[in-house]
Copies of this chain bind each other. A is one copy, B any other.
Amino acid sequence: MRIDLNETVQLLEKSNNILLLCHSHPDGDTLGSATALAHALKAMGKRVRIECSDPIPKDFSFMFEGLEACDFEPELIAAIDVADIKLLGREAEGKYQGRIELCIDHHGSNVLYADKVFLEPDSASTAEMMYFILKEMNAEITPVMASCLFTGVSTDTGCFRFSNTTVRTFEIAAQLAKLGADTYNIIQVFFETKTKTYAALERLALDSMRFYFSDRCAIVCVTQDMYAKSGSDESEVDRLSNLPRQVEGVLVGATVRELKDGNFKASVRTHGDINASAICKRLGGGGHMGAAGCTLYGTKQQAINSLLKEIQAELDADTID
Binding site for B on A (CB under 8 A): 159-161, 163, 165-167, 170-171, 173-174, 177-178, 183-184, 187-188, 191-196, 199, 202-203, 206-207, 209, 215, 242, 245-249
- B248 pairs with A195, CB closer than 8 A: yes
- A246 pairs with B178, CB closer than 8 A: no
Closest approach, in angstroms, between the C-beta of A219 and any C-beta of chain B? 14
| Contacts A/B (CB < 8 Å), 29 sampled | A160-B160, A160-B183, A161-B188, A161-B191, A161-B192, A165-B184, A166-B177, A167-B177, A170-B170, A170-B174, A170-B183, A171-B174, A171-B177, A171-B178, A173-B173, A173-B174, A192-B245, A192-B246, A193-B247, A193-B248, A194-B246, A194-B247, A194-B248, A196-B248, A199-B246, A199-B247, A203-B203, A203-B207, A206-B206
Contact A199-B209, Cβ < 8 Å, known A165-B183, A174-B174: yes
> What residues on B are CB-neighbors of A163 within 8 Å?
184
Contact A215-B196, Cβ < 8 Å, known A161-B191, A170-B183, A173-B170: yes
Closest approach, in angstroms, between the C-beta of A261 and any C-beta of chain B? 30
User: CA separation between A194 and B161, bound complex, in Å?
Assistant: 14
> What residues on B are CB-neighbors of A170 within 8 Å?
170, 173-174, 177-178, 183
| In the complex, residue of chain B having the shortest beta-carbon distance to the beta carbon of A180 | B167
User: CA separation between A159 and B159, bound complex, in Å?
Assistant: 8
Closest approach, in angstroms, between the C-beta of A100 and any C-beta of chain B? 34
Contact A206-B196, Cβ < 8 Å, known A165-B183, A183-B165, A191-B161: no
| In the complex, residue of chain B having the shortest beta-carbon distance to the beta carbon of A150 | B170
> What residues on B are CB-neighbors of A191 within 8 Å?
161
